[in-house]
């Protein structure tokens, strides 16, 4: 597996942001989704976007838009499944996922996920603190296409929590430090936009 496609997960309902697409909110004069694409594209062979509703609102991105194949907004795992189905159609063996509202994730995300893959090929990102605590970031993962039928069956049976499924398949963990800030900081509220803009200025 030399090249790997990436899938940006943007299928959530953004209730804490008042609804709509979080990825289209501006941070530092650019949309969140643009920040995410700029970080993920250099790490992947191609990109797609998991999003529901009218795909035309993302037309300017020039990316395939993959809706959930299961109804009722069953959560990020449905987006992973949509990505795996797409990957199978283009002949890929796996995908890496990233959340559309997380503009600062590591530029070596894909390399570390691949290095950390468990026996099934799965890996999740995590942050570790100075106290040794580990916080998994389950929307950032490496997902093998070979497990897509198992994932589909799990979702159809009602499973929604990502780590319950990944633990069943012995997912590896790619850990990143949470200093000087959490690289998986995600924008959920208007206040988070202000914090993200502060971080952007500090990183400039």
User: 95 with 83: CB under 8 angstroms?
Assistant: yes
Q: Which two tokens stand for residue 39?
A: 């970080």
- Predicted structure pTM score: 0.93
Q: What whole-number percentage of the chain has pLDDT above 70?
A: 95
DSSP 34-64: HHHHHHHGGGSS-EEEE--S-GGGGGGG---
Banded pLDDT at 129 (limits 50, 70, 90):
confident
Mean per-residue pLDDT, 127-144: 90
User: Given a cut of 70, is residue 68 above it in pLDDT?
Assistant: yes
Task: Output the pLDDT for position 9.
Answer: 96
Residue with the larger pLDDT of the pair 133 and 50: 50
- For the ranges 19-33, 96-110, 136-150, 160-174, the lowest mean pLDDT is seen at 19-33
Bridge partners of residue 8, in order along the sequence: 49, 98
Q: What whole-number percentage of the chain has pLDDT above 90?
A: 79
Banded pLDDT at 1 (limits 50, 70, 90):
very low
Which CATH number covers residue 199?
Answer: 3.90.550.10
User: Given a cut of 70, is residue 70 above it in pLDDT?
Assistant: yes
Condensed to tens digits (0 to 9), the pLDDT of residues 149-181 reads 999 999 999 999 999 999 999 999 999 998 889
Q: Distance between CA 113 and CA 50 in Å, rounded?
A: 20
- For the ranges 14-23, 106-115, 161-170, the lowest mean pLDDT is seen at 14-23
- In which domain, by residue range, is 140 found? 6-203
Say how many domains are in the chain: 1
Bridge partners of residue 138, in order along the sequence: none
Is 1 contained in some domain? no
User: Given a cut of 70, is residue 19 above it in pLDDT?
Assistant: no
Task: Output the pLDDT for position 112.
Answer: 98
Task: Output the pLDDT for position 71.
Answer: 81
């Amino acid at each position: 597996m030399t090249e790997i496609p990436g899938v940006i997960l943007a299928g959530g309902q953004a209730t804490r942001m008042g609804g709509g697409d979080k990825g289209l909110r501006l941070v530092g004069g650019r949309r969140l989704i643009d920040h995410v694409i700029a970080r993920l594209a250099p790490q992947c062979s191609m990109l797609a976007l998991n999003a529901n509703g009218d795909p035309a609102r993302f037309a300017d991105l020039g990316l395939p838009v993959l809706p959930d194949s299961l109804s009722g907004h069953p959560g990020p795992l449905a987006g992973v499944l949509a990505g795996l189905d797409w990957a199978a159609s283009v002949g890929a063996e796996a995908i890496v996922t990233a959340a559309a509202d997380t503009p600062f994730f590591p530029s070596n995300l894909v390399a570390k996920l691949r290095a950390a893959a468990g026996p099934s090929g799965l890996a999740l990102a995590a942050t570790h603190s100075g106290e040794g605590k580990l916080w998994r970031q389950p929307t950032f993962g490496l997902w093998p296409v070979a497990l897509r039928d198992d994932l589909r069956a799990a979702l159809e049976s009602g499973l929604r929590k990502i780590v319950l499924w990944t633990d069943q398949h012995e997912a590896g963990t790619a850990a990143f430090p949470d200093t000087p800030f959490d690289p998986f900081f995600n924008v959920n509220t208007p206040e988070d936009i202000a914090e993200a803009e502060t971080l952007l200025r500090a990183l400039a």
